[in-house]
Structure 1
Amino acid sequence: MDEVTRIVNDIKQGNIKPIYFLMGEEPYYIDKLTEFIEDNVLTEDEKGFNQMVLYGKDVTVEDVIANAKRYPMMADRQVVILKEAQELTRTIDKFESYFDNPQPTTVLVVAYKYKTLDKRKKVTKNADKNGLLFESKKLYENQVADWIKRVLAGREYTIDPKAAAMLVEFLGNDLGKINNELEKLAIILPKGTTITPSHIEENIGISKDYNVFELRKAIGDRDQLKAYKIAAYFAQNPKDNPLVMTVGLVFGFFTQLLQYHGLKDKSQAAKMLKVNPYFIKDYEIAARNYPMRKVSAIVAALRDVDVKSKGVGANSLSADDLLKEMLVKIFN
């Protein structure tokens, strides 16, 4: 995120590169940088003759280069944007010679999403030497809550840790989807608001009481009544609560709990488990309720439930039955 801010600030200050090769598994920042260049490098009057947006499935590398070598009309520079450049993966090396000697009056943006090029290749080295090479890496799920917090801070909002955890568990590490939901909240809620689980439930549709986060907490607390109520709700709403995902997240919780038991220095638990420090108290409680030997047995049992949740050897068991089986194995 810091690198993206630096790139944006450089462009605002007029330090504009002839090549922006944007690549990586996380499309969010690639789209944001592409959108910023598209909106801000040229004036509205200049865009008519000097800005072109091409798509990888419709053009060849030669087409893009031919457009990039044109001269601007009544402007200091032109902008050529190649979106969905990953469609040209097989021929992307043909940019090598252009990247080695780019047209100085052209800003060429190549949005190469979901993939990366080998940085040892000549085409990549040339893009880096004569322009800007940016790699957008996927965030790990344990990093996403902090990302949500930073994004909201930039919009003058704060968020409750549990509300952030709900978003991550529901949407994973897809920053585009999460940002869309945050934008909806920013439209509805006034600046300065602290976003709570109730806001998430009311405006996004994620139940604050019936979600995997609450199921794991109920299991950790050995609150059997609450756990079975949540499991029953999941069985009645399988589309919003896929069985495979539920079992996987509960399995992940006990795997982390096993790690927690093995830590000599519990003060480092948040760092070692890669979880928000706010939630460490849940692991402390669960560790008291489930000794290490019991956790090991549960992990082994959950592997069996996981296999069944994927349809192996459990054709006669419903989602409701499998969830109950999971809880029986945990609580017994």
Structure 2
Amino acid sequence: MDEVIQITKDIKSGNIKPIYFFMGEEPYYIDKLTEFIEDNVLQEHERDFNQTIIYGRDASIEDIVSTAKRFPMMADRQVVIVKEAQDLVKTIDKLESYIENPQPTTVLVFAYKYKTLDKRKKVTKLLAKNAVLFESKKLYENQVGDWIKRTLSGKGYSIEPKAAAMLVEFLGSDLSKISNELDKLKIILPKGHTFSPQDVEENIGISKDYNNFELRKAIGEKDQLKAYKIAEYFSQNPKDNPIVLTTGMVFGFFSQLLQYHGLKDKSKQNVASVLKVNPFFVKDYEVAFRNYPMKKVSIIIAVLRDIDVKSKGVGSNSIPQRDLLNEMLVKLFS
């Protein structure tokens, strides 16, 4: 994120490079940086004649280079943006000669999404030397909560840890989807507001009481009544609550709990660092630690592996989700 901020600062200050190559597994920042250049390098009245959008599937490298070598019309520079540039993967090496000698009055931008160039290739080394080469890396789910917090803080909002966890559970690590949902909340709620689980439930449609996060917590607390109520809700809404996701979340929790058992330093900050969780949630592991000895945790992990295999229909006929969830809870609480 610091690199993204620096790129935008440089452009705003007039330090504009002739080539920008944005690549990587996470499309969110690639799209944002491309949009920023599209909206900020040229003045509005200059764009009609000097801003060209090209799609990788519709053009060759030769077409792109030819366009990039044109001179601007009644402006200091032109902008050429190549969207979906990953479609040029087989011929991207042909860009080498242009990278070595780019047109100084052209800003050439590549949005190369979901992939990265081979860092051993000459074209990649040339881009690293002569252009702005930015790799947008996919965040792990345990990093997304902090990303949400930082993103909202920059816009004058904040969010409760549980509300952020609900968004991550429901949307995973797709930053574009999460950003869209946060935009909805920012439209509805005033600046300075702290987004709560209730806000998320009412405006995004994610239940604050019936979700995998709450199920995991109920299991950790050995709150059987609550766990069975959530499991029943999941059984009645299987499309919104697939058992594969549920077993994965619970399995992850007990795998981390096994790590927690082995820690000598069980301070909040160390646990959060080792388990890669928000410090707010460390208390859930403290409670589960008292309820589940290490030997029991090892048994539970084996049980969860078995339930996961059954849920995928391996080695057995199709078993209803309700039966599998109930079997899981019976074995966890026994």
The TM-score with structure 2 as length reference comes to 0.98
How far did 1:122 drift?
1.2
Q: Say if 2:263 is the partner of 1:288.
A: no
| Closer, same or farther: CA 289–100 of 1 in aligned 2, 3 Å | same
C-alpha deviations, 1:119-172, integer Å up to 9, x for none? 221111111222100000011111110100011011111100000010111111
SS across alignment from 1:108: strand
Query: Mean alpha-carbon deviation: is it higher for 119-128 or for 80-89?
Result: 119-128
Quick one: which amino acid aligns to residue 145 of structure 2? A
- Corresponding residue number in structure 1 for 2:183: 183
Q: Say if 2:311 is the partner of 1:299.
A: no
Query: Mean alpha-carbon deviation: is it higher for 306-315 or for 219-228?
Result: 306-315
Runs of 5+ unmatched residues, structure 1 = none
Q: Say if 2:240 is the partner of 1:215.
A: no
Equivalent residue pairs, number: 332
Quick one: which amino acid aligns to residue 311 of structure 2? S
Query: 1:285 and 1:90 mapped to 2: Cα distance?
Result: 54
How far did 1:64 drift?
0.6
- Corresponding residue number in structure 2 for 1:106: 106
- Corresponding residue number in structure 2 for 1:206: 206
- Corresponding residue number in structure 2 for 1:120: 120
- Corresponding residue number in structure 1 for 2:278: 276
Quick one: which amino acid aligns to residue 169 of structure 2? E
Q: Say if 2:188 is the partner of 1:151.
A: no
SS across alignment from 2:90: helix
How far did 1:315 drift?
2.1
- Corresponding residue number in structure 1 for 2:331: 329
- Corresponding residue number in structure 2 for 1:313: 315
SS across alignment from 1:144: helix
Query: 1:193 and 1:233 mapped to 2: Cα distance?
Result: 31
C-alpha deviations, 1:6-41, integer Å up to 9, x for none? 100000000000000000000000000000000110
Query: 2:318 and 2:175 mapped to 1: Cα distance?
Result: 38
How far did 1:68 drift?
0.4
C-alpha deviations, 1:72-119, integer Å up to 9, x for none? 111110000000000111111111111111110000000100000122
SS across alignment from 1:278: helix
The TM-score with structure 1 as length reference comes to 0.99
Quick one: which amino acid aligns to residue 234 of structure 1? F
Q: Say if 2:199 is the partner of 1:235.
A: no
Quick one: which amino acid aligns to residue 305 of structure 2? R
- Corresponding residue number in structure 2 for 1:138: 138
What RMSD in Å do the two structures reach over aligned CA positions? 0.7
Query: 1:97 and 1:211 mapped to 2: Cα distance?
Result: 54
Query: 2:7 and 2:140 mapped to 1: Cα distance?
Result: 23
Query: 2:317 and 2:214 mapped to 1: Cα distance?
Result: 28
Q: Say if 2:78 is the partner of 1:72.
A: no
Query: 1:66 and 1:127 mapped to 2: Cα distance?
Result: 19
Quick one: which amino acid aligns to residue 290 of structure 2? R
- Corresponding residue number in structure 1 for 2:262: 262
Quick one: which amino acid aligns to residue 198 of structure 2? S
Query: 1:317 and 1:23 mapped to 2: Cα distance?
Result: 43
How far did 1:198 drift?
0.2
Quick one: which amino acid aligns to residue 299 of structure 1? I
Quick one: which amino acid aligns to residue 274 of structure 2? M
Given that 2:311 and 2:319 are in contact with CA atoms closer than 8 Å, whether structure 1 keeps it comes out as: no
SS across alignment from 1:54: strand
Quick one: which amino acid aligns to residue 305 of structure 1? I
How far did 1:54 drift?
0.4
- Once the two structures are superposed, the pairs formed by residues 243-262 of structure 1 within 5 Å of their partners are 243-262=243-262
SS across alignment from 2:112: strand
SS across alignment from 1:209: coil
Quick one: which amino acid aligns to residue 307 of structure 2? V
How far did 1:285 drift?
0.2
Query: 1:309 and 1:294 mapped to 2: Cα distance?
Result: 22
How far did 1:239 drift?
1.1
Q: Say if 2:18 is the partner of 1:18.
A: yes
- Percent of residue pairs identical: 75
Quick one: which amino acid aligns to residue 160 of structure 1? E
Q: Say if 2:46 is the partner of 1:42.
A: no
SS across alignment from 2:313: coil
Query: 1:204 and 1:197 mapped to 2: Cα distance?
Result: 10
Runs of 5+ unmatched residues, structure 2 = none
SS across alignment from 1:90: coil
Query: 2:328 and 2:246 mapped to 1: Cα distance?
Result: 10
Query: 1:44 and 1:277 mapped to 2: Cα distance?
Result: 46
| Closer, same or farther: CA 85–316 of 1 in aligned 2, 3 Å | closer
